[in-house]
Amino acid sequence: MSWFERAERGLREFYVAPYRRVFARAKRDEEDLFMMLVLSEALGVPNPASGATLELLPEMLDRMHDWHVRQGLDQSPLDGMQCC
């Protein structure tokens, strides 16, 4: 690896590092919003896209525990889906 490539990597890391936490938080917030959309009918909120989100439900069940803990809930808010 040449000096120029090492300098380029170093500068890229220098500019990207401060924003890593911001991007991770934005990604987590986006996933939380998506989880609310998929689980909205089970939570009692009418969902106009229920047919499409029903297919995603099995995928979301794997992430259910992490989501409800981040939301500050000790247990799952869904009666039929207990994860802990």
* Residue pLDDT, tens place only, 31-83: 988 888 878 877 787 877 777 777 777 777 778 788 888 888 887 777 766 67
Instruction: Let me know: does 40 contact 47? Beta carbons within 8 Å.
Output: yes
Please tell me whether the overall predicted TM-score, pTM, comes out greater than 0.75 for this model. Answer: no
CA atoms within 13 A on the CB side of 13: 6
The label of the residue with tokens 């986006």 reads 30
